[in-house]
Amino acid sequence: MLTYKVQPKGAVSPGISTCQGCMIDVIFRNVLEIMGDDTVLVVPPGCAAQFSGTGPEASVTVPGIQGNLENSAAIASGIANGFKHQGNDHTKVVAIAGDGGTVDIGLQSLSGAMERNENILYICYDNEAYMNTGIQGSSSTPLAASTTTTPAGKKVYNKDLIQIVMAHHVPYAATASIANIPDLRKKVQKARDIVGCRVLHIMSPCPTGWGYPSGKTVEVAREAINCGAWVLLEYENGKVTLGREPSELGKAEKYFSMQKRFKGASEEEIAAAGRHFAERYEYLKKLSAI
Amino acid sequence: MQMQQNMPTSTPSKRRVLGPCSHILAAAHTGSWRLERPSVDESLCIRCGTCARYCPTACITVSREGSPLSFDWTYCKGCGICANECPKKALKMIPEGSDD
């Protein structure tokens, strides 16, 4: 049983040592509020691990387990199957992992869980590098972004997780952003009521790793949507639905100039990134028209 | 309920953990990190709740009557997201310890 030293806010402890300006608390609070108390949480190491607590101290009121980076989807599948064999069809299993634990290291276990269509909700909060261990580049790091392992800027594009997920024909997948909390809540709500493997990919800018003042987190996330760096979409039963059209599609200058990680980006790289955003959006638009 | 084994850590005098399971809901005193704090201009605030929605620590309470916003200073990290997101620019960040 949990001893309450403090009054939780929703299902999350009020004071968590995430960085100033980090919106991961908001993701956890909203997700756990919608999923309800009858939820089991799986988190791998990373910034999200602060929600699994340290020593005897917990940070969330729902039961959870901290696994390894590579197997959060596998642990969640195991828990979901255990419940199924007990005849428990009401407890929800939620895995919340970062981009390193999803796009790089945990991709095989997620792929397996999606292929078997396990009854789990997998959430990837994407801060586009391994922020917790000191800003190492991941395969979610975008072109020209400087990290400690790509100090001169990354030379290649990032992996497109949502298209990898869509290629697995899961019942529900969506991208969301912390710049649009009502949309995020709507998608989590939709995912809660669907049986099967649901995947949510949520953008969560990192003030420490991206290099902007902590107050501008939501502004940066909103600008990413405006220039097409982040596309809000839903994939349901094979049908793609796009969100509102970006107002400045392909114009990456403002988004790049807001962040110190793009300080070394050349004009060509900014133009190439903008073209990439526009081309990707056009491709997704064609996909949504099918 | 099965009891957890009481396992001392490498510094048993400082801390004893009870097995691998966490069983106390605790919070860090994140308010001590604050260098700037939000200050509200009550004549501009329209009580829309945008600041409360985006506050990472959920330490803003919007009330319909009286003073529009109340802050939980134990946990406010002073990140400034509320001041940046306010549609009416009713919030501004002032140095911690100053009066207004």
Q: Chain centroid to CA B81: how far?
A: 12
Q: Is residue B1 part of a domain?
A: no
pLDDT tens digits, A235-285: 999 999 999 899 999 899 999 999 999 999 999 999 999 999 999 999 999
B51 in Cβ contact with B82 (< 8 Å): yes
Residue A205 has pLDDT above 50, yes or no: yes
- Tell me how far CA of residue A246 lies from CA of A229, A250, B70, in angstroms: 9, 9, 35
Which residue matches tokens 């097409």? A228
Read off the pLDDT of each residue in A114-143 and give the average, rounded to a whole number.
Answer: 94
Q: For residue B74, what is the domain's CATH number? A: 3.30.70.20
Please provide the average confidence, as pLDDT, over all residues in chain B: 83
ipTM of this predicted complex? Answer: 0.87
In a domain, A151, yes or no: yes
Q: Give the span between the Cα atoms of B100 and B82, in whole angstroms.
A: 17
Over range A3-7, report the average pLDDT: 87
In a domain, B78, yes or no: yes
pLDDT value of position B22: 79
| pLDDT at A7 exceeding the cut of 80 | yes
Rounded Cα distance, A172 and A187, in Å: 10
For A156-168, write each residue's pLDDT tens digit: 999 999 999 999 9
Q: Alpha-carbon distance A76 to A250, whole Å?
A: 38
B46 belongs to a structural domain = yes
Q: How far, in Å, CA of A246 to CA of A257, rounded? A: 18
pLDDT at B6 exceeding the cut of 60: no
Those residues of chain A whose CB sits closer than 8 Å to some CB in chain B are 1-6, 8-10, 12-18, 20-26, 29, 52-59, 61, 181, 207, 213-219
CATH code, A158: 3.40.50.970
Give the mean pLDDT of B48-66.
92
Residue B8 domain flag: no
Query: Are β-strands B91-95 and B16-18 bridged in parallel, bridged antiparallel, or unpaired?
Result: unpaired
pLDDT of residue A142: 94
Number of Cβ pairs < 8 A linking chain A and chain B: 117
User: Comparing C-alpha atoms, which of A206, A221, A215, A237 is closest to residue A18?
Assistant: A206
Whether residue A202 is contained in a domain is answered as: yes
pLDDT of residue B39: 93
Cα separation, A274 vs A280, in Å, equals 10
pLDDT of amino acid B18: 47
Taking the CA of residue B43 and the nearest CA in chain A, the distance in Å comes to 23
Res B21 pLDDT > 90: no
Range A74-103 average pLDDT:
94
Report the residue count for chain A: 290
Nearest CA in chain B to A27: B56
Q: Is the pLDDT of residue A63 over 80?
A: yes
Model pLDDT for residues A188-204, shown as the tens digit of each residue: 999 999 999 999 999 99
Q: Quick one: tokens of A218?
A: 């939501």
| C-alpha distances in Å from residue B27, one per residue of A42, A53, B88 | 20, 10, 32
Cβ-defined contact of B24 to A3 (cutoff 8 Å): yes
Range of the domain at B66: 33-100
Disruptive mutation site among A57, A177, A216 for chain B (greatest number of B CBs within 10 Å): A57
User: How far apart are the C-alpha atoms of B16 and B18, rounded to whole Å?
Assistant: 7
For the cut 60, the answer to whether the pLDDT of residue B2 exceeds it is no
- Per-residue CA distances from A265 to A103, A208, B12, B29 (Å): 24, 19, 51, 39
User: Do A2 and B72 count as a contact with CB atoms less than 8 A apart?
Assistant: no
Burial B54-83 (b: 16+ CB within 10 A, else e): bbbbbbbeeeeeeebbebbeebbbbbbbbb
Judged by CB atoms closer than 8 Å, whether chains meet at A20 and B22 is answered as: no
Report, in angstroms and rounded to the nearest whole number, the Rg of chain B calculated over CA atoms: 19
Q: Is residue A10 part of a domain?
A: no
* Mean pLDDT across chain A: 93
* Residue B22 placed within a domain: no
Those residues whose C-beta lies under 8 Å from the C-beta of residue A248, and which sit 6 or more positions away, are A226, A227, A254
Q: Does residue B72 fall inside a structural domain?
A: yes
| Phi-psi region at A246: left, alpha or beta (left = phi > 0; alpha = psi -120 to 50) | beta
pLDDT band at A57 (very low <50, low <70, confident <90, very high): confident
Specify the number of domains making up chain B.
1
pLDDT at residue A9, as a whole number: 85
H/E stretch holding A242:
strand A239-242
User: Which domain range does residue A59 map to?
Assistant: 24-289
A178, A217 contact by CB (below 8 A): yes
User: Would you call B21 and A14 a contact, using CB atoms and an 8 Å cutoff?
Assistant: no
Number of neighbours of residue A219 by Cβ within 10 angstroms: 17
- The tally of domains found in chain A comes to 1
For chain B, where are the E strands, in sequence order? Answer: 6-8, 16-18, 24-25, 36-40, 60-62, 69-71, 91-95
Whether A3 is covered by a domain: the verdict is no
Establish if A1 belongs to a structural domain: no
Fill in the amino acid letter for A272: A
Which helix (H) or strand (E) element contains residue A181?
helix A181-192
Q: Choose among B26, B54, B59: nearest Cβ to A13.
A: B26
Q: Which residues of A touch B59 (CB under 8 A)?
A: 14
Contacts A15 to B, Cβ<8 Å: 27-31, 57, 74-75
CB B90 within 8 A of CB B44: yes
The partner residue sitting opposite A213, judged by closest CB among B29, B54, B80, is B80
Establish if B96 belongs to a structural domain: yes
Cβ contacts of B36 within 8 Å, gap of 6 or more: B78, B80, B93, B94, B95, B96
Q: In the predicted model, is pLDDT for residue B15 greater than 70?
A: no
Cβ-based contacts of A21 with chain B (< 8 Å): 56, 77, 79-81
CA A39 to chain centre: 19
- Alpha carbon B9 to its chain centroid, in Å, reads 30
